[in-house]
Structure 1
Amino acid sequence: MKAVLATDLSAASEATIENEVCLECLGRIGIDEIHLVTVVPSNVHAGMPGIDFEKRRRKALERYRRAIESAGFDIETHVVRGTPHRRITGIAETIGASLTVAGSRGQSPLENRVIGSTARNLARTTETPLLINRIEREVDEPTMVRTHLFQRMLYATDFSDNAERAFEAFSYLRHATQEATLVHVQTPKDPGLSEGDDPGEQLAELASQLNAWGIETQTDVRQGDPAEEILAAEETHDPTTILVGSRGQSRLRRLLLGSVSEDVVARATGNVLLVPPARVT
Structure 2
Amino acid sequence: MKAVLATDLSAASEATIESETCLNCLGRIGVEEIHLVTVIPANVHAGMPGIDFEKRRKQGLNRYRDVIESAGLDVETHVVRGTPHRRINGVAETVGAGLTIIGSRGKSPLENRVIGSTARNLARTTVVPLVVNRIERAADDPEVIREHLFQRMLFATDFSANAERAFESFSYLRHATQEATLVHVGTPKDPGLGEGEDPEVELDALAARLEDWGIETETDVRQGDPADEILAAEAEFRPTTILLGSRGHSRLRRLLLGNVSEDVVARADGNVMLVPPERTA
Sort the TM-score into its range (normalised by shorter chain).
over 0.9
**Residue 38 (structure 1) shift:** 0.1
Instruction: For 2:243, give the aligned amino acid.
Output: L
Q: Distance between the aligned counterparts of 2:115 and 2:156, measured in 1?
A: 20
Question: Match for residue 11 of structure 2?
Answer: 11
With 240-249 and 270-279 compared, the bigger mean Cα shift is at 240-249
Say whether the 8 Å CA contact 1:154–1:181 is kept in structure 2: yes
2:23 matched to 1:23? yes
2:274 matched to 1:269? no
Question: Match for residue 34 of structure 1?
Answer: 34
Q: Distance between the aligned counterparts of 2:208 and 2:115, measured in 1?
A: 34
Q: Distance between the aligned counterparts of 2:63 and 2:102, measured in 1?
A: 18
After superposition, the C-alpha distances for 1:174-207 in whole angstroms (9 at most, x for unaligned) are: 0000000000011122222011111101100000
Question: Match for residue 116 of structure 2?
Answer: 116
After superposition, the C-alpha distances for 1:120-168 in whole angstroms (9 at most, x for unaligned) are: 1101111100000000001100000110000000000010101000000
CA RMSD of aligned residues (A): 1.8
Q: Pick closer, same or farther for the CA change 1:186–1:278 going to 2, 3 Å.
A: same
Q: Pick closer, same or farther for the CA change 1:253–1:19 going to 2, 3 Å.
A: farther
Question: Match for residue 166 of structure 1?
Answer: 166
Q: Distance between the aligned counterparts of 1:243 and 1:237, measured in 2?
A: 14
Q: Which runs of 5+ in 2 are unaligned?
A: none
With 40-49 and 261-270 compared, the bigger mean Cα shift is at 40-49
Q: Distance between the aligned counterparts of 1:125 and 1:30, measured in 2?
A: 24
Normalized against structure 2, the TM-score is what?
Answer: 0.95
Say whether the 8 Å CA contact 2:177–2:215 is kept in structure 1: yes
After superposition, the C-alpha distances for 1:66-114 in whole angstroms (9 at most, x for unaligned) are: 000111011100000000000000000111100000110011167xx89
1:1-281 equivalent positions in 2, closer than 5 A = 1-108=1-108, 116-247=116-247, 255-281=255-281
**Residue 50 (structure 1) shift:** 2.4
Q: Pick closer, same or farther for the CA change 1:115–1:164 going to 2, 3 Å.
A: farther
Q: Which runs of 5+ in 1 are unaligned?
A: none
Q: Distance between the aligned counterparts of 1:121 and 1:14, measured in 2?
A: 20
Q: Distance between the aligned counterparts of 2:247 and 2:268, measured in 1?
A: 18
Q: Distance between the aligned counterparts of 2:222 and 2:266, measured in 1?
A: 21
Say whether the 8 Å CA contact 1:207–1:218 is kept in structure 2: yes
Normalized against structure 1, the TM-score is what?
Answer: 0.95
After superposition, the C-alpha distances for 1:214-261 in whole angstroms (9 at most, x for unaligned) are: 000000000011110000000000000000001179xx7564211011
